[in-house]
Amino acid sequence: MDQNDRMLKCIECGQDFVFTVGEQVFFAAKGFQHSPRRCKRCKAKRSANRGEVSSYYIETSAVCSQCGKKTTVPFKPRMGRPVYCRECFQQRRSSAPVAQPSTSV
């Protein structure tokens, strides 16, 4: 491992930033194999944006497995897993048995 601070270039803003020896030790201790690619400001901005659901919302067209109606779902369906329209999903949800807590004496 380098025992010197390293200058890196941020892939977001293009500014140079320092990757300190302390940060290098931390990365090595965590098992990270790559140096950081973003400066602290861009990393913070990116982390803040991850909380915005709208930027990562996926709407996919599908056919309901129960009634056959065309619908859209907020996820990408997986092969072999049923997809339900809103009405069928609510119906299945309301008719599902409620798990009772076990009482052991």
Residue 72 to residue 80: CA distance in whole angstroms: 17
Mean pLDDT of all residues in the chain? 85
pLDDT tens string 29-68: 999 999 999 999 999 888 887 765 554 567 889 999 999 9
Do residues 39 and 20 make contact, with C-beta atoms less than 8 angstroms apart? no
User: What's the confidence (pLDDT) of residue 64?
Assistant: 93
Do residues 8 and 23 make contact, with C-beta atoms less than 8 angstroms apart? Answer: no
Whole-angstrom distance between the N-terminal and C-terminal Cα of the chain? Answer: 58
Confirm whether pTM is higher than 0.75.
no
Residue 6 has pLDDT above 90, yes or no: yes
Segment 12-37 shows an average pLDDT of 93
**The pair of three-digit structure tokens given for residue 86, joined into one six-digit string:** 């809103």
